[in-house]
Amino acid sequence: MSKAFTRETDADNDDADDLPSAPLPAGSKNYITPQGYARLRAEFAELLETERPKIVDVVYWAASNGDRSENGDYLYGKKRLREIDRRIRFLTKRLEIAEVVDPSVHYGNDQIFFGATVAYEDAAGEERTVTIFGIDEANTAQGQVSWVSPIARALLKARVGDVVRLQSPVGPQDIEVLRVDYPAPGAA
């Protein structure tokens, strides 16, 4: 069979979005902070306006060199182009459904909403701090959790002094809210 009629997949499926982030719960909005939205927009613009055109030029140049079957620049370029296009599709979908929420509107409030930094005490008496962010911007290594995570779901709408029940992998446990902080208005 001629290579002209075969799909160059390298075991990739262009239609399957290999999303690094968790999927959104059905029917929910994609809540995100203004800073997170700006980061996604900047990544989208960088991919679309800078990185993709560079790779297209490399692929065009490599294709003009002749035999594509053993041309590393061509093969890698095509693979990278698929990765970029997949990420652009993902970002387009996420940005279209994004609901930008400014957490600073709750500055001084003691109730937990999206964007809050919450200090709580677990059942063992250990104090922990988490900040509730959007799915696409949360980084657990920095103490940031997604608003759909079990800890965030347990904490949302609670107030300082409340004891809430967290369904954890080891079983339910009660946690007490110690502090709630929001960024000051105008703070980045």
Range of the domain at 108: 103-181
Q: Using the 8-state DSSP alphabet, how is residue 66 labeled?
A: S
Q: Is residue 20 part of a domain?
A: no
Q: What percent of the chain has pLDDT over 90?
A: 56
Provide the pLDDT confidence category of residue 23 given band limits of 50, 70 and 90.
Answer: low
Instruction: Characterise 105 by phi-psi region: left (phi > 0), alpha (psi -120 to 50), beta (else).
Output: alpha
Sign of torsion over alpha carbons 125, 129, 132, 134: negative
How are the residues of the chain apportioned to helix, strand and coil, as percentages rounded to the nearest 5?
40, 20, 40
Least confident of 68-77, 126-135, 149-158: 68-77
User: Tens digits of per-residue pLDDT, 170-188?
Assistant: 889 999 999 999 988 876 5
CA–CA distances in Å: residue 51 to residues 16, 79, 131: 22, 13, 32
pLDDT value at residue 169 = 84
pLDDT value at residue 100 = 93
Nearest alpha carbon to residue 107 among 98, 115, 99, 96: 115
pLDDT value at residue 46 = 96
Provide the pLDDT confidence category of residue 24 given band limits of 50, 70 and 90.
Answer: low
Q: What is the CA radius of gyration of the chain?
A: 22
Nearest alpha carbon to residue 71 among 6, 79, 51, 14: 79
Per the CB < 8 A criterion, the answer to whether 104 and 182 are in contact is yes
Provide the pLDDT confidence category of residue 71 given band limits of 50, 70 and 90.
Answer: confident
CATH number at residue 93: 1.10.287.180
- Statement to judge: residues 111 and 77 lie in one domain: no
Number of domains in the chain: 2
Provide the pLDDT confidence category of residue 2 given band limits of 50, 70 and 90.
Answer: very low
The whole-number average pLDDT for the span 14-18 is 44
Q: Is residue 4 part of a domain?
A: no
Q: Using the 8-state DSSP alphabet, how is residue 185 labeled?
A: T
Phi, then psi, of 99 in degrees rounded to 5:
-120, 100
Domain boundary among 84, 100, 116: 100
In whole angstroms, what is the distance from residue 137 CA to residue 140 CA? 10
Neighbouring residues of 74: CB distance < 8 A, sequence distance ≥ 6: 59, 62, 63, 65, 68
Beta strand 98-100 with 117-121 is unpaired
Owner of token pair 């799909």: 7
- Statement to judge: residues 31 and 78 lie in one domain: yes
Domain boundary among 40, 69, 100: 100
The whole-number average pLDDT for the span 88-117 is 91
User: Tens digits of per-residue pLDDT, 108-149?
Assistant: 888 999 999 999 998 888 999 999 999 989 888 898 999 999
Q: Using the 8-state DSSP alphabet, how is residue 140 labeled?
A: G
- Statement to judge: residues 88 and 122 lie in one domain: no
Q: Using the 8-state DSSP alphabet, how is residue 51 labeled?
A: I
